Structure 1
Amino acid sequence: MPSGTGTGDEEESLSAYKARLHQQHSRPLIEQVSNQWKEKEGFSDQHQEKSLYLEDDTGELGFCDLEDEGSCPNVSRDIVSSRRFRRMFAIALLAALLLYYAWKHFVAPPLEEDWAYKEGFVAQENGTYGIAKGGSDIDPDLVRLRDLDKGLLPGGEADPEGKRRLVFVGDVHGCKKELVKLLEEVGFEEKSDHLVLVGDTISKGPDNVGVLDELMRLKATSVRGNHEDRILQVAKSAHNTLSSTSSKGRAKDVALLKQLKPHHIEYLRSMPLMLHIPTLPQASKPTHKKDSPISEHILVVHAGVVPGVPFFKQDPYYIMNMRSINRRTHVPSALRASSKNEKPWFDVWNWYNDRIFRKQSLKHFNTALQTSFQDDEDNDDNVWTSLWKNFWGERHARPKPQVVIYGHDSKEGLQIKRWSKGLDSACVSGGKLTALVLDAKGMWEVKSVGCKNYRG
């Protein structure tokens, strides 16, 4: 074998060896370990790949790793520290505070008051009239309830053309000059208009006899007020002289009684506790607004009425003296409201009648008792209609809304609401004498004249 050939083979073998050695050193150390060791320890190529994959995957699931910028704590920190997040948080906090303020001051109070009013109408074991029920000292001469003469009703059978008017006047208290002036202001027509007073026609003022004479001349109708009632109580007493009086107020009542003639006393006795005026036949369609035409039954009293209580179970004393009422018990008081549960009586009255007008639920309300007047057409159903209504429980199931016209509370002043019209505007103390004029269509207007102060 020639020497040149051997030398070339050796060089070729050396180059191949160096190449294999270089390739071996460039591989990972784990692959340079003998197959026997890898098999012994269980590190096959497949196991190694799977192990490396799991290790990397486990690293991705490490969301609490603080060294990883994509971990949950680091991402949360970046979000919280961002200006946009702080702005959104401030807006959300402000919105929550505004919602709480609106709930506390605007939403919750009406809801609470609504429930308190409602509670007074829910049937209770002792009823809704409490300790005031019935009254104990009732004047045997007292006419509890009187209906207005049908011939005086605007738009009624005696007034087909609808020219009649009713003129309601607040507490006169012996102020004849102001009464005459007010009737001139409203254009009172003696032949067609009828004058209705809310009581307290006498006492305190300068011309009590003159007022009574004028009312009798005009054939006016008045309900009994607390001052007429006081005079009648004094008249019944066998000891009505000035020397036997025990108070300044009674002394004034005795002095006034001495000025009155028997026909004056008889006129006072004829004053009913309540005056009922039926619906006006020609009245326009009513609404729930304060200035709505009056097309409902009207009840005239001096001071107030307890809503939801039958008229003949109303306490006479409170009809003439009521100023406030407990909204939860419906027990009235002659004093003004002085606590959270005490409200002006007309607030509860208006709430109740507005609920009836809107046909809202009266479930659990004490409506089994007759608490409203009925129209004649309510009883004109034929036999089949009557049976149908009785079957469905519709007959007399709901009371009807009513309007109360009253006086008595001069400190409250003129109070014109949808379901109540308070006309005492403190004439005798230098205020005004007020009239509400009602026509056959149910349209009404309020007129007033100034008064001299007779109490100063």
Structure 2
Amino acid sequence: MDRLKALAFTTSLLALVYFFTQTKFTLSSIQWPTSLFGGKQQPDFSMYKSLSTLSVQEFPLDPAQSRRTVIIGDIHGMNNSLSSLLDVLDYHPGSDVLIHVGDIIAKGPHEGSMTVLSYMASHNITGIRGNHDQKVIEWRGWLDWLHRFPDGRKWLTALERRWDEAAAGGADPGVWASKQMKRHRSPWWRTIPKDWKIFTEHYKIARAMSDAEYRYLLSLPLVLHIPHAHTFVVHAGLLSSDPRYKPRDPRQPLARVPTVFGSAKSKHGSDVPKLRRAQELALLSDIEQNTDPWVKLNMRGVLKNHDVTRGKDGRPWSDIWNRDMSRCGGFEHDLSFDDAHTTPNKHKMLPCHPSTVVYGHAASRGLDIKRWTVGLDAGCVYGRKLSGLVLGRHKHNDLKKHQSPTPTDIPFGDNFTGHVVDTECQLE
């Protein structure tokens, strides 16, 4: 009897060993993404490029030359409106430099987005990322990463097939995906980052665009800096001072004369351009909020508690920028030697030179032109207008007279003049 019990125990043990061995083999044969069960984390799908610098040739300003710089506001796939504005401006790719302020795709018609993206990529148009461009970049990064796993690619292919059928019946992507996640409890759902919404327009563009178009979007920085024009181009905005501190606090970049290459401060003569460039770069690096990509892609204002917001409430960041730049009195106003009691209003001056920001994103405020900021999102995707800022040669007869609205002349930078032209947008 004891032998029979021992034999039965041994047989059972061998069966268990065989079962777990086979199970382990089966599970290990599945190519799981390492982020699901330990190991390396998912790659950084954001792929931010912080800054690009434009030269005089890449951003012409001299009105005596034949070349122009044309900066276009948020396009959002409104391809017909873009073509109309470029036609009104009599844009010539061989001589004019075209720059966009981001959000060239999404929100508008899908085919329009694909056409605009194709044009921008094939002509390598200078520009920056917008928050909608960024979402497309991130989805494409996720798609390329997931396709490296055969089982992940198989899961997504089947999911896309079911979605295409549901979309033909007018299904909402968010509601449908939520039901699918509960019905088909695949662990691959967990590879989708939190708060991402699959099968939206951003996903659709990411799936449809070519590798070359993806590389183009990746090449777009968050900020363009044009030192000779003392100008930044950014999608949402920048802060000229940290709102947690007073403008004259020594931690503020505009409240101190920078040191160039470790040398002593020089406030006059040939060192001024170097000092200005150093101070402008300090705005990007020394103000904590400006180091956050989210701020540069989304900010619209500053709340009373000093937090930045993408909502319509709060003080517009452009008001803060213009307040601070209007106080720039040159590097001779070094606060370390300031005696506010000897010179009237001297206590309001800052040791800086002003710089300009050209931006988009704030369609609710429309075309928003102040002395040191130019907001170009005039709400084309909502059926309003598409705006462009022309710098350099800017005689009004450069425009097609039979189509052109009356341009609005504006001061730009230290001593230049630009003009703003817009065209009516029809929903496409």
Distance 1:193 1:140, change over 3 A: same
Aligned to 1:320: 297
Residue 436 of structure 1, aligned match among 384, 389, 398: 389
Partners of 2:45 and 2:141 within 8 A in 1 = no
The two structures, once aligned, show a CA RMSD in angstroms of 2.9
Classify the secondary structure of the residue corresponding to 1:437.
strand
Partners of 2:386 and 2:422 within 8 A in 1 = yes
Classify the secondary structure of the residue corresponding to 1:173.
coil
Aligned to 1:79: none
Distance 1:138 1:194 in 2: 32
1:24-61 residue CA offsets vs partner (Å, 9 max, x unmatched): xxxxxxxxxxxxxxxxxxxxxxxxxxxxxxxxxxxxxx
1:258 Cα deviation (Å)? Answer: 2.0
Classify the secondary structure of the residue corresponding to 2:200.
helix
Partners of 1:403 and 1:419 within 8 A in 2 = yes
Distance 1:439 1:175, change over 3 A: same
1:245 Cα deviation (Å)? Answer: 4.7
Aligned to 2:235: 302
1:378-400 residue CA offsets vs partner (Å, 9 max, x unmatched): xxxxxxxxxxxxxxxxxxx9332
Give the partner amino acid of 2:82. Answer: L
Q: How does 1:327-338 map to 2 (within 5 A)?
A: 329=306, 331-337=307-313
Aligned to 1:235: 140
Identity in percent: 31
Aligned to 1:423: 376
Distance 1:350 1:249 in 2: 40
1:175-205 residue CA offsets vs partner (Å, 9 max, x unmatched): 1111111011111121111001000000022
Q: How does 1:249-328 map to 2 (within 5 A)?
A: 251-279=200-228, 296-308=229-241, 310-312=283-285, 313=288, 314=290, 315-326=292-303
Classify the secondary structure of the residue corresponding to 2:116.
helix
Distance 2:93 2:79 in 1: 17
1:393-447 residue CA offsets vs partner (Å, 9 max, x unmatched): xxxx933211100000111110011010000011111011100101168321111
Aligned to 1:385: none
Question: Aligned pair 1:172/2:86, yes or no?
Answer: no
Task: Give aligned pairs, total.
Answer: 262
Distance 1:138 1:258 in 2: 18
Distance 1:200 1:222 in 2: 10
1:58-84 residue CA offsets vs partner (Å, 9 max, x unmatched): xxxxxxxxxxxxxxxxxxxxxxxxxxx
Distance 1:430 1:346, change over 3 A: same
1:358 Cα deviation (Å)? Answer: 7.9
Partners of 2:331 and 2:352 within 8 A in 1 = no
Classify the secondary structure of the residue corresponding to 1:353.
helix
Classify the secondary structure of the residue corresponding to 2:328.
helix
Aligned to 1:353: 325
Structure 1: tracts of 5 or more residues without a match: 1-136, 280-295, 365-396
1:154 Cα deviation (Å)? Answer: 1.6
1:163 Cα deviation (Å)? Answer: 1.9
Partners of 1:169 and 1:198 within 8 A in 2 = yes
Distance 2:119 2:46 in 1: 27
Classify the secondary structure of the residue corresponding to 2:364.
coil
Aligned to 1:147: 53
Distance 2:334 2:303 in 1: 20
1:118-161 residue CA offsets vs partner (Å, 9 max, x unmatched): xxxxxxxxxxxxxxxxxxx98663211101144223257xx9x5
Give the partner amino acid of 2:294. Answer: Y
Give the partner amino acid of 1:436. Answer: L
Classify the secondary structure of the residue corresponding to 1:143.
coil
Distance 1:245 1:257, change over 3 A: farther
Larger radius of gyration: 1
Classify the secondary structure of the residue corresponding to 1:253.
helix
Distance 1:181 1:249 in 2: 33
Residue 449 of structure 1, aligned match among 419, 423, 426: 423
Question: Aligned pair 1:203/2:176, yes or no?
Answer: no
Partners of 1:153 and 1:164 within 8 A in 2 = no
Distance 1:336 1:297 in 2: 28
Partners of 2:302 and 2:316 within 8 A in 1 = yes
1:306 Cα deviation (Å)? Answer: 1.4
Distance 1:432 1:360 in 2: 43
Q: How does 1:95-244 map to 2 (within 5 A)?
A: 141-154=47-60, 162-206=65-109, 207-237=112-142, 238=146
Q: For CA contacts below 8 A with separation 6 or more, give which structure has more relative contact order.
A: 2
Aligned to 1:388: none
1:303 Cα deviation (Å)? Answer: 0.4
Give the partner amino acid of 1:412. Answer: R
Give the partner amino acid of 2:80. Answer: K
